[in-house]
Chains A and B, each alone.
Chain A
Amino acid sequence: MRRCLYVLLFVPLLSGCWSSKPIEELNIIVGSAVDKEEGNKLSSTLQYVVPAALQNNKGGGTAVKPYVNITEKGVSLEPIGWEMTLKKEGFIFGAHQKTIVIASDVAKELNLEELMDLHYRDVDIRGSANVFIAKGRASDTLELSDKSIPAMHINEIANQQLTTRLLKPVTLTDTFAKLESGTSFLMQQIVKTKKGEVKFDGAAIIKGKTGKMIGTFNKKEIEGINWLTGDSKSGTVKAYRSKKEHPVFFQLKTLDSEITPKVINGRISFDVKIKSDGRVAEYWNPHERPAFENKNVRSIEREAEKEVVRLVGNVVKKMQEEYKVDVAGFGSQLRIHYPRLWNEVKGDWDKTFSEAEVTYHADLTIQDYGMIGKKNTQN
């Protein structure tokens, strides 16, 4: 018994520093990009952080880029990763990866689920990393003129989600869930501008069945999607009747939307109810119709409601007619409310959806008009 104890005492020493990796020897990756190369090959770019450079920049010394991008070519991501270790010392450490950018031409050709298999499989890489589609070369979006780390920069814009003109961030886990269930979905599209900035521009439509990108929505259509799904935290919508009228903008504070499926005689239809509270953010012509008067405020509400319905209607029409996919979660509402019916139609849901009728109701409430109600234009 006692001898046994002594043996046990030495067990920790035998193991050494098992799987210990010093933090300073790690290559901390914050972003990666996948591009298409000639000869049916892929290229992958990893963005390594250079922590020392981050520290130095604070002191005001000569600014060094706080990151290094390394690109390698190969048939898939795994051999590319090993190829990279020939170029730069240290382990590739993916636990802090925030951003994954996939070039749109790769997304159009390859099934995303296969392409991203390494990311899903790896224990280190977090499911919370955001995935984007790049217009043009993906690796370009990780090389910006700004001094900050591009991958972090992109990720922050996505997570803050300040306006209705960009999508709720799509994480690695989200894409996996959608691809596994064969649900079509949207991914935020980013592009590098000529000035070397990154811009969030529209969305890529991924068809769930094939896992490939089939088209894009522009920013206006994303607005419609956001009003439809109620995912936005803030944003604005214009509320004027005609172009010649001066700008009036409704700024949303809360947004809530509800998609209710209805089944009448086997025909599936949807009713969308959008409810939002907000305020008048900009109102150029109060001297004509002062906001002090309730009827004027109500008329702004009605104009904004019309605009919302138009935005939502447009994008749903585009989904149904042009791409014939459901990327706004109509299907999951049907699954919740009519599970039996869903089992029958889920096999070809995108097609069934494109024939469904959708009605819209928007209910916007203006809670305040800000600090001023009327402009004094008398003198």
Chain B
Amino acid sequence: MRWRGRKSSKRVQNESLQPHAAANPDHQPISGSILADLAAVKESIGHNSDVRFREYRFGPDKIPIVVVYVAGLSDKELINDYIVNMLLMDGDGRHINNHELRDYLFDRAMPICELKEASTINSFTSSVMTGAAGLLVEGVAGGFTFGESQVLKRNMEEPPSESMVRGPRIGFIESLSHNTALLRRLAKTDSLAITSYQIGDRAKKEVAIAYISDIVDPKLLEEVKRRITRIKIDALQESGYIEQLIEDDFLSPFPQVQNTERPDRVLAAVLEGRVAIFLDGTPFALIAPVTFNMLLQTPEDYYERWMIGSLIRMLRYLTAFISLFTPAVYISFVSFHQGLIPTKLVFSIAASREGVPFPPLIEVLIMEVSIEILREAGLRLPKAIGQSIGIVGGLIIGEAAVQAGIVSPIMVIVVAVTAITSFSIPQYNAGIALRMLRFIAMFFAAVFGLYGVILFFLLLGAHLVKLKSFGMPYLSPVSPYRVKDWLDMIIRAPLFLMKKRPDQLQTKDQTRK
């Protein structure tokens, strides 16, 4: 982990715009004269009310030492343990001269794994401000920092955004080190590689990428690393920032990086030869590259027996189609191709539309928009109230709208079906993408009828064929056609048949052993 310290110090050196910094703070070294160093540190960060300084005297020579930490952020127990330990040792009763002192501290007095040296005032203060405890010692040029910020962590619970019937009930949390540790615990292989970067020009955050080093395609890995290191932003709040900054096409409605809270999903992805990206402070990990069919898959497809997995997966393809096209097809049938509807259905649709004042497009728009509003309102409200919104919105408004003759009952069915189907898509943002496209499909249908719907389908197909995620075609294995990967696309073949990793990922190690 030493390179990380180097890396961070390098980054720190680039920071030249801190307002409270001294004349040339970048290279101001820690001299070893504790008064001067302390003054410099205090000038840099001493104005913060939560920065604490505590002085001790150490050894028979009563060497002054100062511990600097941030209240509430630094791990107090760690500080107490080691400082007390150090003071108790009392230099083994020896008089230690100045050039021995550093090695003595390093090797004997502070037997702590994450003890680092900071040579400049700036790197020292920067470590302190990110949660380490700093230690200045009279006569030692360069300070020490140790420990990490105390992690405010919650329990690892089942992720609410991806609940499943069968599968591990554990999800990522907001702490990166816990997340990567969780992944390692599940993977139990020495070839799982985790590489970290500090990203963010102002507030640095740790970004880690995880991959299996002897599986992943080196070109893919190179590309992911290149995109991550090229992120220029002052602060990353959530992995969504990374997703948006590294995606291929910002104009596409489709997510080009998958996000997940489930460690089993990440593990499965890296074992296929994909790369996972973690960000400290968010439970959502990213998986790249992603293909269209991944958006319609859940880990459960693999946990259940293959017939169940395949059937449910096929059902999801159907729901995606229904979600996207039902209102459009309804509009085109009702206003253009009445001859294609079965005769008895024509009568009941015509009867139900009798007295409805709006053309089908407006009618569908009213209902679709209001159901989107209901969905949004239900999401924002506390859970207890959220349910009543569903009842008020869905039942009462729907029923009243029909009674009032603003919309037809069949329309309500169409809208309800599309809403439910769009929620059955496992990837939340993919569901939203389909809902978005549904409106475009409706306009096409209102203008050209079924011809327009087909036109829209072609446009959508053209877009998807063109779209790429980290250089991998979004529609693979359909286009480019890789028949071997079809075993795990619309159906999920029995596990013993899927002996090869996805062909499309061009992994170093093709066989699953």
A18 at the interface (CB under 8 A from B): yes
Which of A13, A17, A22, A52 has a CB less than 8 Å from the CB of B351? A52
**Considering the chains assembled together, what is the distance between the CA atoms of A17 and B449 in angstroms?**
9
With A28-B347, A30-B343, A55-B348 already in contact, the answer to whether A23 and B353 are too (CB < 8 A) is yes
CB distance from A50 to the nearest CB of B (A): 9
Give the interface segment out of A92-100, A183-191, A199-207, A332-340.
A92-100
A49 at the interface (CB under 8 A from B): yes
> B349 to chain A: which residues have CB within 8 Å?
23, 51
With A12-B447, A15-B448, A17-B335 already in contact, the answer to whether A96 and B346 are too (CB < 8 A) is yes
Q: Mark A131-144, 1 if CB is under 8 A from B, else 0.
A: 00000000000000
> B444 to chain A: which residues have CB within 8 Å?
12
B351 and A55: CB pair below 8 A? yes
B352 and A55: CB pair below 8 A? yes
Which of B335, B443, B448, B452 has a CB less than 8 Å from the CB of A23? B335
**Considering the chains assembled together, what is the distance between the CA atoms of A84 and B386 in angstroms?**
55
Give the interface segment out of B30-38, B164-172, B354-362.
B354-362
Which of A13, A22, A30 has a CB less than 8 Å from the CB of B335? A22
B346 and A28: CB pair below 8 A? yes
User: Most chain-A Cβ atoms within 10 A of its Cβ — which of B335, B343, B443?
Assistant: B343
With A51-B347, A55-B352 already in contact, the answer to whether A23 and B447 are too (CB < 8 A) is no
CB distance from A242 to the nearest CB of B (A): 49
Which of B336, B339, B343 has a CB less than 8 Å from the CB of A20? B336
With A17-B335, A95-B339, A124-B339 already in contact, the answer to whether A23 and B449 are too (CB < 8 A) is no
> A281 to chain B: which residues have CB within 8 Å?
none
CB distance from B335 to the nearest CB of A (A): 4
B354 and A22: CB pair below 8 A? no
> A124 to chain B: which residues have CB within 8 Å?
339
Q: Mark B344-387, 1 if CB is under 8 A from A, else 0.
A: 00111111111010011100000000000000000000000000
A376 at the interface (CB under 8 A from B): no
With A49-B347, A51-B351, A54-B351 already in contact, the answer to whether A93 and B338 are too (CB < 8 A) is yes
**Considering the chains assembled together, what is the distance between the CA atoms of A22 and B338 in angstroms?**
9
**Considering the chains assembled together, what is the distance between the CA atoms of A59 and B296 in angstroms?**
43
**Considering the chains assembled together, what is the distance between the CA atoms of A28 and B338 in angstroms?**
9
Select from chain B the residue with minimum beta-carbon distance to A94.
B339
Which of A13, A16, A19, A22 has a CB less than 8 Å from the CB of B360? A22
**Considering the chains assembled together, what is the distance between the CA atoms of A55 and B350 in angstroms?**
10
**Considering the chains assembled together, what is the distance between the CA atoms of A49 and B353 in angstroms?**
14
B348 and A24: CB pair below 8 A? no
CB distance from B439 to the nearest CB of A (A): 14
A3 at the interface (CB under 8 A from B): no
User: Most chain-A Cβ atoms within 10 A of its Cβ — which of B335, B347, B356, B448?
Assistant: B347
B338 and A23: CB pair below 8 A? yes
> B339 to chain A: which residues have CB within 8 Å?
93, 95-96, 124, 126
CB distance from B48 to the nearest CB of A (A): 54
B354 and A24: CB pair below 8 A? yes
A24 and B356: CB pair below 8 A? yes
A24 and B447: CB pair below 8 A? no
A243 at the interface (CB under 8 A from B): no
B334 at the interface (CB under 8 A from A): yes
A24 and B346: CB pair below 8 A? no
Question: Interface of chain A, helix or strand or loop or mixed?
Answer: mixed
B267 at the interface (CB under 8 A from A): no
A244 at the interface (CB under 8 A from B): no
**Considering the chains assembled together, what is the distance between the CA atoms of A55 and B352 in angstroms?**
8
User: Most chain-B Cβ atoms within 10 A of its Cβ — which of A12, A13, A24?
Assistant: A24
Select from chain A the residue with minimum beta-carbon distance to B443.
A12
B447 and A18: CB pair below 8 A? yes
**Considering the chains assembled together, what is the distance between the CA atoms of A22 and B350 in angstroms?**
9
CB distance from A283 to the nearest CB of B (A): 41
A15 and B338: CB pair below 8 A? no
A54 and B347: CB pair below 8 A? yes
B338 and A26: CB pair below 8 A? yes
With A12-B447, A51-B347 already in contact, the answer to whether A21 and B336 are too (CB < 8 A) is yes
B446 at the interface (CB under 8 A from A): yes
Select from chain A the residue with minimum beta-carbon distance to B448.
A18
User: Most chain-A Cβ atoms within 10 A of its Cβ — which of B346, B351, B361?
Assistant: B351
**Considering the chains assembled together, what is the distance between the CA atoms of A17 and B348 in angstroms?**
24
B446 and A17: CB pair below 8 A? yes
A19 and B356: CB pair below 8 A? no
B448 and A12: CB pair below 8 A? yes
> A19 to chain B: which residues have CB within 8 Å?
336, 449
> B334 to chain A: which residues have CB within 8 Å?
22-23
> A15 to chain B: which residues have CB within 8 Å?
447-448
Q: Mark B468-508, 1 if CB is under 8 A from A, else 0.
A: 00000000000000000000000000000000000000000
User: Most chain-A Cβ atoms within 10 A of its Cβ — which of B334, B338, B350?
Assistant: B350
A51 and B343: CB pair below 8 A? no
Select from chain A the residue with minimum beta-carbon distance to B337.
A95
CB distance from B333 to the nearest CB of A (A): 8
B350 and A51: CB pair below 8 A? yes
Which of B343, B350, B446, B452 has a CB less than 8 Å from the CB of A24? B350
B343 and A96: CB pair below 8 A? yes
Select from chain B the residue with minimum beta-carbon distance to A16.
B447
> B447 to chain A: which residues have CB within 8 Å?
12-13, 15-18
> A24 to chain B: which residues have CB within 8 Å?
350, 353-354, 356
User: Most chain-B Cβ atoms within 10 A of its Cβ — which of A13, A15, A17, A93?
Assistant: A17
User: Most chain-B Cβ atoms within 10 A of its Cβ — which of A13, A18, A22?
Assistant: A22
Q: Mark A90-120, 1 if CB is under 8 A from B, else 0.
A: 0001011010000000000000000000000
> B352 to chain A: which residues have CB within 8 Å?
55
With A21-B336, A22-B335, A98-B343 already in contact, the answer to whether A28 and B448 are too (CB < 8 A) is no
CB distance from A127 to the nearest CB of B (A): 12
A21 and B338: CB pair below 8 A? yes
**Considering the chains assembled together, what is the distance between the CA atoms of A22 and B356 in angstroms?**
11
> B343 to chain A: which residues have CB within 8 Å?
30, 96, 98, 152
Select from chain B the residue with minimum beta-carbon distance to A152.
B343
Select from chain B the residue with minimum beta-carbon distance to A19.
B336
- Contacting residues of chain A (312-341) with chain B, CB-CB under 8 angstroms: none
CB distance from B329 to the nearest CB of A (A): 14
User: Most chain-B Cβ atoms within 10 A of its Cβ — which of A16, A19, A98?
Assistant: A19
**Considering the chains assembled together, what is the distance between the CA atoms of A253 and B163 in angstroms?**
56
> A30 to chain B: which residues have CB within 8 Å?
343
**Considering the chains assembled together, what is the distance between the CA atoms of A96 and B338 in angstroms?**
9
**Considering the chains assembled together, what is the distance between the CA atoms of A12 and B446 in angstroms?**
10
Q: Mark B306-339, 1 if CB is under 8 A from A, else 0.
A: 0000000000000000000000000000111011
Question: Can you list 20 residue pairs at the A/B interface with Cβ under 8 Å?
Answer: A12-B443, A12-B452, A15-B448, A17-B446, A18-B447, A18-B448, A19-B336, A21-B335, A22-B335, A22-B359, A22-B360, A23-B334, A23-B350, A24-B350, A28-B346, A28-B347, A52-B351, A52-B354, A55-B348, A55-B351
Q: Which 3 A-B pairs have the closest CB atoms?
A: A95-B339, A51-B351, A55-B351
Chain B residues proximal to chain A, CB less than 8 Å: 334-336, 338-339, 343, 346-354, 356, 359-361, 443-444, 446-449, 452
Given contacts A19-B449, A21-B338, A51-B348, 10 further A-B contacts (CB under 8 A): A17-B335, A21-B335, A22-B353, A23-B349, A23-B360, A51-B351, A52-B351, A93-B338, A95-B338, A152-B343
